[in-house]
Amino acid sequence: MALHLGRLSAGSCWRASRGGRRGLCSWPGRCAAARICRPPGAAGTEQCRGLGHIPTAGGGPRLGTRLTTALAGLAGLAGLAAAAFGHVERAEMVPRSTGARSPSSGRPEEDDDELTRRCSCFMAPPVTDLRELRGRPSDMKTKMELLILETQAQVCQALAQVDGGARFSVDRWERKEGGGGISCVLQDGHVFEKAGVSISVVHGNLSEEAAKQMRSRGKVLKTKDGKLPFSAMGVSSVIHPKNPHAPTIHFNYRYFEIEEADGNKQWWFGGGCDLTPTYLNQEDAIHFHRTLKEACDKHGPDLYPKFKKWCDDYFFIVHRGERRGIGGIFFDDLDSPSKEEVFRFVQSCAQAVVPSYIPLVKKHHDDSFTPQEKLWQQLRRGRYVEFNLLYDRGTKFGLFTPGSRIESILMSLPLTARWEYMHSPPENSKEAEILEVLRHPRDWVR
C-alpha cells in the first residue's frame, strides 16, 4: 500500500486524506516550518556524568553496545526489532483499516489540540494512536516518535523543494506483532536519483536468543515467563543525488527501551550523520562538519571530537583500506547523564540535518560534469554498496534474520553503481585527491 506525494513546498502542511483515494493533500493550517512541526523540547536536567559517558558492567561492554550498533542505519527501519534482535516472527503488511487510525478521533476539541495540529504536518499519521500519545505526553517514547516524524517531514519537504518536481512514495506499513513504520522514497527525480527517509516504531517481546546475547555482555535481565518487553523507534535516511558534485548523505537517530519483570527499564539512544562526496570540496566538508560540531557543542565540547572519530572508525571498508566517506558523527548506547539530556542532544543533531546538507545540494546540483566524472561517481557508489552489504552491522543482521522487511533494509542502496577490474585513478587527479582523504581522515573543524 503506497501513497504518492506530489511537489512539496516548505510552507505547506500535509495530512492523509480521509476519502477513498488515500492521497496526501494540502492542509491549510499553520505550518511545520514556523511552529507546529518544530521538534518538541524536553524539560528537566539531571546534573551528573557528562553526555556520552558509557559505563561498563563487570569490565565488559555494556548492555546493548553491539546489539544496538547492529541497528546502525536502523537496518532499514521496518524490521528494526525483528531483524536486529532475533525476533523471527514475520513482519507483514496489513490493510490500513485493520490497525492504523485516523489523525484524530473526530471530536472538535481534539481536532483543535496542539498534538493534532503537529501531526497534520507529518508524512502520514503517527504509528501510535493519538489517544495513547495524549495519555503519555512526558514519556520518552512519545517524545521520540514525534521527533522522528517531524524530522522525516522536514527532510522530505526540503528535498522535494530542491528537486522541483519529485514524487515521494509514502509506504505506511504495520507489523502485526506490534508497531509499524512509514517509508518515504523518491526515485528518478530531477535532482535526486534516490532519496529515502523512513521511520519505525515497533514493540513486542525480545526473543530468548536476544536476551542471552545481552546477558553475555554483562547484564542481568529479569524476564517474566521468559518474556522481555521492548520498544524501539528511529528515523533513517540515505540520499543519493544525480550530480557527481553533489554529495550523498546518511543519517540515523534511534531510541531503544526494555522493561524487566520488576518494572525496571533499560534505555539508550544511538545515531549519527555522515557525508559521502564523489569529489572533495573542502568548503563543503568544513560546512558539514562545522554544522554538526555546533549541534554537539551545545551539549558539551568533547562530544564532536569523540563522535567524529567513532564515525571515521565505524565507516571503514576494511578490504579497501578506506572510509566510505568523509565522516561526520556516530554514537551508540548513550544512556547518561539523563534521558532528557540525551534526548535534547539527539534533537539538536536531528535539527542539524537540513542545514548541514541542503545548502550543499543547492550549490552543486546544476554543476556541469563530464562522462568521466559520472563514471567515477558510479565506482564510488560501488564502494557504498560494499560497505553496506559487507560491514554495516544493522544491514547484515537484517538480511540474515527471518521476518525482516527486505525492501526497507535495502532502501539505502543507490539505483545505479559500477565495478571495474583493477581501476586506479591517475596520480594527482581529483579522483586521487578524494581517495587520499578516505584513506587518511582529516580534522575539518576545531
3-state secondary structure 383-425: HHHHHHHHCCHHHHHHHCCCCCCHHHHHHHCCCCCCCCCCCCC
CA nearest to 239, candidates 410, 412, 367, 409: 412
User: Is residue 145 classed as helix, strand or coil in its secondary structure?
Assistant: helix
CB 365 within 8 A of CB 357: no
pLDDT band at 301 (very low <50, low <70, confident <90, very high): very high
Write the pLDDT tens digit of every residue in 113-156: 889 999 999 999 999 999 999 999 999 999 999 999 999 999 99
Q: Residues 166, 192: contact at Cβ < 8 Å? A: yes
Instruction: Give the closest residue to 279 by CA, choosing from 207, 415, 158, 372.
Output: 372
Read off the pLDDT of residues 170-216 as tens digits, 9 standing for 90 and up.
999 888 778 889 999 999 999 999 999 999 898 888 766 666 655 65
Q: In whole angstroms, what is the distance from residue 332 CA to residue 253 CA? A: 10
Residue 19, pLDDT score: 35
Q: Is the pLDDT of residue 17 over 80?
A: no
Residue 347 has pLDDT above 70, yes or no: yes
The CA-CA-CA angle for residues 352, 169, 102, to 5°, reads 85
Neighbour tally for 143: CB within 10 Å? 24
DSSP track, 82-93? HHHT---SPP--
Q: Which of 349, 365, 2, 6 is nearest to 157 (CA)?
A: 6
Fold of 119-439: oxygen-dependent coproporphyrinogen oxidase (3.40.1500)
339 versus 103: which is more confidently predicted? 339
- Residue 169: what are its φ and ψ, rounded to 5°? -85, 120
Does the active-site annotation cover 53? no
User: Quick one: pLDDT at residue 298?
Assistant: 97
Q: Which long-range contacts (CB under 8 A, 24 or more apart) does 41-44 make?
A: 41/344, 41/347, 42/143, 42/340, 42/343, 42/344, 42/347, 43/340, 44/338, 44/340
Q: Is pLDDT at 339 greater than 80 in this prediction?
A: yes
As separate numbers, helices (DSSP H) first and strands (DSSP E) second, the chain gives 15, 12
Tell me if the bond preceding 337 is cis, omega within 30° of 0.
yes
Predicted pLDDT at 261: 77
The whole-number average pLDDT for the span 334-339 is 93
Per-residue pLDDT tens digits for 399-420: 764 456 788 888 889 999 999 9
The number of C-alpha atoms within 13 Å of 19 and in the hemisphere containing its C-beta is 4
The structural domains of the chain, with segments of one domain joined by +, span 119-439
Which residue among the candidates 250, 287, 289, 364 is catalytic per the annotation? 250
pLDDT in tens, 42-65: 344 444 445 655 444 333 434 344
- For 4: left if phi > 0, alpha if psi spans -120 to 50, otherwise beta; the answer is beta
